Amino acid sequence: MAEFRDQPKLESAILALKAAGIGADDMDIFSEEPVELRRGILDRPSSMSLVAVVGAIVVGGLATAGVYAAQHNYRLITGGMPIFSFWGTGVITYETTLLGSVLATFGWFLWESGLLRKRDKNVPIPTVLPGVMCLRVRCFDPHVTRARQILDTAGATDIALKEVA
Amino acid sequence: MAASAPELLPYAKIREDLFRPLSKGSSAYWTTVFGALSIVILGAVAWGIQVRDGMGVTGLNRPVFWGFYIVDFVFWIGISHAGTLISAILRLTDAGWRKPVTRAAEAITVFCLMIGGMFPIIHLGRSWLFYWLIPYPSERLLWPNFRSPLLWDLVAILTYVTGSVIYLYLPLIPDMAQLAEHNVPWRRKLYRILSLGWTGSDREWHALERAMKLMACIILAVAISVHTVVSWDFAMSIAPMWHSTIFGPYFVVGAIFSGIAALLLVLGILRRALGLELYLTKHHFNNLSKLLLLMSLLWFYFTFAEYQTVWYGNEPSEMAVFASKIRGPYAPFFWTMVVCNFVVPFILLGIRKLRTITTAMVSSVCVLTGMWLERYLIVAPTLGNPRMTSASGIYTPTWIEFAITAATFAGMIVLYLLFSKLFPIIAVWEFKPHPVEEE
Amino acid sequence: MSIDLDRCTGCEACVVACHAENNLPVSSPDQAEKGRTAHWIRVDRYYEGEFPDVKVKYRPVLCQQCDNAPCEPVCPTYATYHNPEGLNVQVYNRCVGTFYCANNCPYTVRFFNWFAPEWPEPLQLQHNPDVAIRPAGVMEKCTFCVQRIQRGKRDAMVENRPLADGEIQPACVQSCPAEAMAFGDLNDPESKVSKLAGSGRSTLLLGELGTKPKVFYLERAK
């Protein structure tokens, strides 16, 4: 784990580590506020938008179908209006579509951020001070010294090694 | 202080200032909470009397079957649009000045929705059966009537509540993770559970930012539709001066208008009460005042268009309602509303020299009064002047309705005070620290 | 139903009969002042001219049992809907009291039970056992004396014969001394009501709204 206070130094460190063969999945940056790295350095692909759209369509469609089934379940005539019409149900379709996207977004966020996934208890989580960005690299024995070297040359202010079983 | 923007303050000071309100409350704080709570209890007693004795204890009658409760309902749901406009639109347009304002706004939304959502239950003749509007397989072997605008209300408000709570909760997670580290034991446990084990990794930050962007778009779409749907409770009926196509946009504009006023008022009070002068600066109030002025002009435009159309059309049943508002028994309320909603904001906020934080707060109070009167003037005059003139009537509210209305204002105060004691009212993580080491 | 406005004298016998037949609650002076009294059928008076040349017109107004009833689609619990016979029925036990139907009725013929109904002694002995007593919190309105319709249909079925025209009479129709009201089957072209409805004197109240009311007011064309 290495602490950086300067964003360009952190970026060069990551690039160097990637060149040495350490994958993006093995690197994590911990900070008290979001760190905006330049594009291409440590991108995390996300399918949240797609999930939101899918959730929207699914819930909206189900709700509309549900209303259709409910209205036809026991047909009661009201004031000359049709038993089911898209005009009349339009509001419910719209709202439930949006509700679906809200729930899908929230649910996917919980999954994608790792907050709801099973955590590996042995992995260390650094406590970071504000303004500090801590880069945590996970690698196996032969690469450790090389990684340490890269972090040192890149300008990390504090490097700590932690062994994990 | 020399710093003009809150972002340039040293981080430790930001932390200290924004976390200080979470510590023990002063006597003024607890007095306010208990005072407000007693008004809430009075309102609950009033409602209890209404449930026990029947709706006759209110001022409702034939033909004015809807009164204060529906006015309050529309009013509170309207104010809830504060959070969405400020938070979502400013987030989407990346306006920096929104940072200290968003969480206060989002909290207003959630609590106003909770309060407003009580009224569809309170106004029922048989309140204890309100759950019959919820679609569940019942012994009546009937589903509710989805053709009714009241069901649309139910779905819309449910969606909005879910969305707003999630929208408030998401940016709260990083702050709660920070709070979990230094606090009293029971609070630490609360924050730790609520923050879901947030560690501050970049994966989590990316997911959060993506979710916030999506939620901002979605919640904006929901907010616009919610008050449109509420307005359709009126517009879908054929009562004179209700059956108007302008009601959808009119109510949305009115909602955003009253929402910004409420936000301005709340921020003004918070600024003084919590000592947040460095974070909620003249700049923020200036921007909010300009927005309030803009909405005031928009509101005036819609109101003028609506009344002009009615007057020019000269249709007898509509003109009866129109006359009762402009010249008749509702005239004092009508002209007060115009002064409060248009004249006062126009003068106090339109003239640069007069636009200060205090005058902005005065304008906000006027606007909130005016907007409540506007809702009242939509409900009572139309119902009091039905098409069959033999059935005309006037509405005189009783202490029950006043008590319940007052209780909702008090309830809002209680909820907000408790919220500000448990969670930082300004999002701490949104303030990036000074890049060099703290002096 | 048809109501002949040229015959109506404004005596309000129909109002009294309706009260007696349908267990309408008795109001009090201050409740009446607040506008809480229920008259399922009421007689509206319209005055023309100045004294001493005053002319009065009477119009009994009751639930028009509209085919395109504006009150029906807005009820969230289907407490009011159109039954297969064409009646606009009010189902008391489904009503939660949202008041939407009453707001939407252009004729203002819907009434709410503001309190639990009361009758001063000994009027409670006069209740009609065929009609429900509505609790506080539900909406009510003219039902075309649905209890009489049910009884008439049942009698006809038991005696194995079709219903005769004019056999079923709601309380108001029965009690009108001027015989201004008629009640019958609009689907039957030979019934008295159908013939009157098709006559040149037949008008609809607020017909331009498109509610398709089923009460035809007969009056001389102006």
Separation between Cα atoms, residue B104 and residue B113, nearest integer Å = 14
Each residue's pLDDT tens digit, B397-415: 999 999 999 999 999 999 9
Are B112 and B80 within 8 A, CB to CB?
yes
Each residue's pLDDT tens digit, C99-108: 999 999 999 9
pLDDT score at C118: 87
Q: Residues 26..55 of A with a Cβ closer than 8 Å to B: which? A: 28-35, 37, 42, 44, 46, 48-49, 52
Each residue's pLDDT tens digit, C46-88: 998 888 888 899 999 999 999 999 999 999 999 999 998 889 9
Q: How many CB pairs under 8 A join A and C?
A: 28
pLDDT at B372 over 50: yes
Residue A2: strand pairing partners: A135, A159
Lowest-pLDDT choice from B203-207, C109-113, C143-147: B203-207
pLDDT at B78 over 90: yes
Query: In chain C, what percentage of residues exceed pLDDT 90?
Result: 74
Q: Is the alpha carbon torsion for C89, C92, C96, C100 positive or negative?
A: positive
Q: Please tell me which residue, B11 or A44, carries the higher pLDDT value.
A: A44
Token pair, residue B416, equals 């907000």
Which long-range contacts link C181-190 to residues 24+ away (Cβ below 8 Å)? C181/C1, C181/C2, C181/C3, C181/C4, C181/C14, C181/C60, C182/C1, C182/C2, C182/C4, C183/C1, C183/C144, C186/C86, C186/C214, C190/C165
Summary mean pLDDT of chain B: 88
Q: How many residues does chain C have?
A: 222
Locus of tokens 């029925």: C89
Token pair, residue A142, equals 């032969």
If you measure CA to CA, which chain A residue comes closest to B181? Answer: A127
pLDDT score at B432: 61
Q: Residue A164's pLDDT band (boundaries 50, 70, 90)?
A: low
Q: Residues 145..204 of C with a Cβ closer than 8 Å to B: which? A: none
- Taking residue B293's Cβ as centre, other Cβ atoms within 10 Å add up to 19
Decide if B202 touches A, using CB distance below 8 A.
yes
Decide if B434 touches A, using CB distance below 8 A.
yes
Query: In chain A, what percentage of residues exceed pLDDT 70?
Result: 96
Each residue's pLDDT tens digit, B160-192: 999 999 999 998 888 888 887 766 677 778 888
DSSP three-state, residue B153: helix
| C67: amino acid identity, one letter | D
Each residue's pLDDT tens digit, B271-318: 888 878 878 888 889 999 999 999 999 999 999 999 999 999 999 999
Chain C positions touching B148 (Cβ under 8 A) are 73-76, 100
Q: Residue B98's pLDDT band (boundaries 50, 70, 90)?
A: confident
Chain A positions touching B429 (Cβ under 8 A) are 32-34
Q: Is the alpha carbon torsion for B9, B11, B13, B15 positive or negative?
A: positive
Please give the radius of gyration of chain A, using alpha carbons only, rounded to the nearest integer. 25
Contact A78 C81 (CB under 8 A): yes
pLDDT at A18 over 90: no
- Beta strands A133-137; C88-90: pairing state: unpaired
Separation between Cα atoms, residue C103 and residue B239, nearest integer Å = 7
Cα–Cα nearest to C211, from C100, C74, C65, C78: C65
Burial of B297 per CB tally in 10 Å (0-12, 13-18, 19+)? middle
pLDDT at B435 over 50: no
Rounded to a whole number of angstroms, the distance from the CA of C76 to the nearest CA of chain B is 5
Chain A positions touching C71 (Cβ under 8 A) are 79
Separation between Cα atoms, residue B221 and residue B89, nearest integer Å = 11
Chain A positions touching C70 (Cβ under 8 A) are 79
Supply the pTM of this predicted model: 0.92
Separation between Cα atoms, residue C191 and residue C203, nearest integer Å = 18
Each residue's pLDDT tens digit, B205-259: 888 988 999 999 999 999 999 999 999 999 999 999 999 999 999 999 999 999 9
Are B128 and B139 within 8 A, CB to CB?
no
Q: Residue A14's pLDDT band (boundaries 50, 70, 90)?
A: confident
Across the range C110-116, mean pLDDT stands at 94
Separation between Cα atoms, residue C130 and residue C190, nearest integer Å = 30
Rounded to a whole number of angstroms, the distance from the CA of A95 to the nearest CA of chain B is 6
Lowest-pLDDT choice from B47-61, B91-105, C20-34, C42-56: B91-105
Q: How many CB pairs under 8 A join B and C?
A: 136
Decide if C63 touches A, using CB distance below 8 A.
no
Are B289 and B363 within 8 A, CB to CB?
yes
Q: Residue A3's pLDDT band (boundaries 50, 70, 90)?
A: confident
Separation between Cα atoms, residue A40 and residue B221, nearest integer Å = 32
Chain B positions touching A94 (Cβ under 8 A) are 225
> Which of B9, B14, B151, B206 to mutate to test binding with chain A, by most A CBs within 10 Å of its CB?
B206
Q: Is the interface score ipTM higher than 0.85?
A: yes
pLDDT score at B436: 39
- What φ, ψ does residue A28 adopt, rounded to 5°? -135, 140
Chain A positions touching B202 (Cβ under 8 A) are 28-31, 34-35, 37, 42, 44
Cα–Cα nearest to C99, from A62, B328, A97, B62: B62
Chain A positions touching C81 (Cβ under 8 A) are 76-78
Contact C82 A81 (CB under 8 A): no
Chain C positions touching A79 (Cβ under 8 A) are 66, 68-73, 82
Separation between Cα atoms, residue A149 and residue A134, nearest integer Å = 16
Token pair, residue B353, equals 């020299």
Q: Residue B4's pLDDT band (boundaries 50, 70, 90)?
A: very low
Token pair, residue B292, equals 């309030």
Q: Residues 129..158 of B with a Cβ closer than 8 Å to A: which? A: 135, 141-147, 151-152, 155-156, 158
Separation between Cα atoms, residue C93 and residue C84, nearest integer Å = 19
Q: Please tell me which residue, C152 or B5, carries the higher pLDDT value.
A: C152
pLDDT at A131 over 80: no
Q: Residues 74..93 of A with a Cβ closer than 8 Å to C: which? A: 76-81
Q: How many CB pairs under 8 A join A and B?
A: 161
Summary mean pLDDT of chain A: 82
Q: Residues 2..41 of C with a Cβ closer than 8 Å to B: which? A: 31, 34-36
If you measure CA to CA, which chain C residue comes closest to B154? Answer: C76
Nearest beta carbon to residue C114 from set B56, B233, B238: B56
DSSP three-state, residue C212: coil
Contact C77 B144 (CB under 8 A): yes
Chain B positions touching C112 (Cβ under 8 A) are 55, 60, 62, 65, 125
Q: Find the chain B residues whose C-beta atoms sit closer than 8 A to any C-beta of C.
A: 53-56, 59-66, 123-127, 129-130, 132-133, 140, 142, 144-145, 147-151, 233, 236-239, 383, 386-388, 390-391, 393, 396
Q: Residue B7's pLDDT band (boundaries 50, 70, 90)?
A: low
Q: Residue B434's pLDDT band (boundaries 50, 70, 90)?
A: very low
> Which of C62, C94, C103 to mutate to test binding with chain B, by most B CBs within 10 Å of its CB?
C103
Summary mean pLDDT of chain C: 92
Each residue's pLDDT tens digit, A53-91: 999 999 999 999 999 999 998 888 888 888 898 888 999
Contact C74 B55 (CB under 8 A): no
Q: Residue B438's pLDDT band (boundaries 50, 70, 90)?
A: very low
Which subunits count as partners of chain A given 3+ CB pairs below 8 Å? B, C
Contact C103 B62 (CB under 8 A): no
If you measure CA to CA, which chain C residue comes closest to A80? Answer: C68
Contact A76 C212 (CB under 8 A): no
Contact C67 A80 (CB under 8 A): yes
